[in-house]
Amino acid sequence: MDTHIGFAAVQPKNGTITIPAQLRRRFGLDKPGAQVEIIVRDGEIVLLPHVAVPAEQAWFWSERWQAKEREADTDLAAGRATTFDTAEDFLAHLEQINAEADDADRTSGE
């Protein structure tokens, strides 16, 4: 649904447009590194807010990692997850999986 906010003047010298303060705050454009993506759609100029991701977190937002996150969410929603009461239980489970994999390797090599 469209909400009319008002008008913004375009500075003729450099094309600067000021986005109202309440919208900058609402969409995080008051944060350092914030950017606005500009799209032309059906004769309209559309501004999409983007907040920069710190370089050390960029890996998380890569398409490959996000695909893995979606896969994990699907597995969790389907009940394909194991929980453990203690760290020791978790480590014992990992050791069991490792031993089973070793057994499978030995069996397939025969």
Q: What's the pLDDT at 109?
A: 67
Name the residue among 81, 105, 104 with its Cα closest to residue 93: 81
- CB contact set of 10 (below 8 Å; sequence gap of 6+): 16, 17
What residues are paired with 49 via a beta bridge? 36
Domain 1-52 belongs to what topology? Pemi-like Protein 1; Chain: D (2.10.260)
> What pLDDT sits at residue 68?
98
Answer whether 0.85 is exceeded by the pTM. Answer: no
Q: List the chain domain ranges.
A: 1-52, 55-108
What single string gives the DSSP state of each residue in 47-71? EEEE-PPPGGGGGGGSHHHHHHHHH
**Tell me, what's the pLDDT at 110?**
59
Task: Point out the residues of the chain with pLDDT beneath 50.
Answer: none
Q: Which pLDDT score is estimated for 87?
A: 98
Residue 58 phi/psi, 5-degree rounding, is -60, -35
Which tokens go with 73? 């969410």
Residue 109 has phi, psi (to 5 degrees) of -85, -10
Q: What pLDDT sits at residue 51?
A: 82
CA-nearest of 57, 14, 54 to 31 is 54
Phi and psi at 37, nearest 5°, equal -85, 140
